[in-house]
């Protein structure tokens, strides 16, 4: 189960996570240059496709709060403890047909 704030998210088509360096030092020790990372934030990217209007509006309601939200995952082979994140939404695409469907990418950046 993917949980963002008060919203239970549907399972994403893809889910990636990476780290963003927020602070680093470049050191020169005995003629060798080295980099020491001092601080990192985690970023989660969830790609959704074929969302119903209700699902899309639920995600957008969390985004429109414009404040940090709690994100956690409890799946069989994946567990992420509650992490405070800021929400960004990247491309939103719409598909026609009999029912409204939306594809969007949700980018969640850890708050430190």
| Model pTM score | 0.84
Domain limits of the chain? 2-20+40-110
CA distances in angstroms from 61 to 18, 71, 96, 100, 107, listed in the order given: 25, 15, 23, 18, 15
Rounded mean pLDDT for each run of 10 residues along the chain, 112 residues in total? 96 94 77 78 95 93 96 95 96 82 95 84
Cβ distance 56 to 63 under 8 Å? Answer: no
- Count CA atoms within 13 Å of residue 48 on its CB side: 24
pLDDT of residue 24: 72
């Amino acid at each position: 189960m993917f949980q963002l704030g008060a919203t239970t998210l549907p399972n994403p088509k893809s889910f990636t996570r990476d780290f963003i360096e927020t602070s680093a030092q470049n050191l020169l020790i005995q003629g060798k240059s080295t980099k020491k990372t001092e601080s990192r934030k985690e970023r989660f990217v969830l790609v959704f496709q074929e969302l119903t209007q209700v699902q899309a509006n639920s995600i957008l309601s969390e985004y429109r709060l414009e404040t940090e939200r709690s994100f956690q995952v409890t799946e069989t082979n994946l567990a992420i403890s509650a992490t405070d994140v800021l929400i960004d939404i990247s491309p939103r695409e719409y598909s026609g047909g009999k029912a409204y469907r939306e594809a969007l990418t949700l980018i969640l950046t850890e708050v430190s």
